[in-house]
Amino acid sequence: MKKIDISTILASAIHESKNQVGTLLYQLQSLKDAINNNDAHQKKIISIEESLKKLNDEWVEYLYLYKLASDGYELHVDTFLLDEFLDDQVFALFPSAKAKNLELEYVCDPTLTGVFDERLMTAVVSTAVYNALRFAKTKIRISATKNADFLVISVEDDGKGFNQSDDQQDVFLEGNTGLGLYFAELSATAHVIDTVKGFIKKESSLTLGGANLSVYLPQPSADHSISFK
């Protein structure tokens, strides 16, 4: 019998499941529209909605992970204003944070621009934030800075942080399989300028005291003028 490529099959199975999650979300939306705003069930519905959104985002992460790992991901980079990009991320993830009574905010220089794959970095940030949601006590912060020739996107929380003495990822990914960090790493290394590759760093948060996951993305040499002769 011909050997079956199980990862390809899993990837398409995830696609199928993801589509069903999408249908469920739409149906839930019409349910939400149909019932009264102060209905006692409203809260329950929102909680189901948040869980489904998270599930959807996780499926997306796994699909990209599969593509990155099998060299099937085509990177599409473009220039973005970080203020807009991070605002988008907070906008999308805010309801999940609110449901857990956590603050979610972003900080960056309003003029900062960066070159990266938007879809991939959206998935990386949401993975990191979902993870931080499990450990933060009160607050999660997403930030972006320029560090030499790298754009650094960080997700910090005020939880107990990475336990450096423990064997690596155990604490950060308690009850998890470590896929999240692996995904962040593959996404970072997929960004290449000349021969410089992106990378990730796990640190303690200086400002919030908890964990800090930073993604370093190489940037083209600073030259924002259009010139031609």
Partner 1 sequence: MAQQDFSKKKALLIEDMAEARIMQRKMLTDFGFTSIDIAMKAETAIELLRNHSFDVILSDYNLGNGKDGQQLLEEIRHSKLIPHTATYLMVTAETSIEMVMGAIEYQPDGYITKPFSQAVLQRRLSKLLETKERLLEVNMALDANDFDKAILTAKRVSKKHPSLLGKCERIIGESLLEIKEYKKALSLFNKTLKNRKMPWALFGKAKTYFLMGELEKAEQNFRQLMLDNRFFVSAYDWLAKIQVKNDKLEEAQATLIEAVGKSPKNILRQMELGKISLLLNDYVAAEMAYRRAVFLAKYSCYNTAEVYLKHLESLARISDSGPLLPRQKDNFENTLKKVHESFFDDPDNKAKTYGYEIDVYLADNDKSTAKQIFEAWLSEVKSGSATPPNKQQTAIFTKSFGS
AA letter at 149: D
Please, which of residues 207-226 interact with partner 1 by CB under 8 A?
Answer: 220-221, 223-224, 226
Q: Does residue 96 bind partner 1 (CB under 8 A)?
A: no
**CB nearer partner 1, residue 69 or residue 91:** 91
Q: Cα 202 vs. chain centroid, distance in angstroms? A: 15
Q: Does residue 101 bind partner 1 (CB under 8 A)?
A: no
Please, which of residues 104-163 interact with partner 1 by CB under 8 A?
Answer: 111, 113, 115, 119
Q: Does residue 227 bind partner 1 (CB under 8 A)?
A: yes
Helix (H, G, I), strand (E, B) or coil at 228: coil
Q: Does residue 13 bind partner 1 (CB under 8 A)?
A: no
8 A C-beta contact, residue 136 and residue 101: no
Question: How many CB atoms lie under 10 A from the CB of residue 222?
Answer: 8
CA–CA distance, 188 with 181 (Å, rounded to integer): 10
Dihedral over Cα of 210, 94, 142, 128: its sign: positive
8 A C-beta contact, residue 126 and residue 89: yes
**CB nearer partner 1, residue 122 or residue 205:** 122
Which residues of the chain form contacts with partner 1 (CB under 8 A)?
15, 18-19, 21-23, 25-26, 29-30, 33, 56, 60, 63, 74, 76-81, 84, 87-88, 91-92, 111, 113, 115, 119, 193, 220-221, 223-224, 226-229
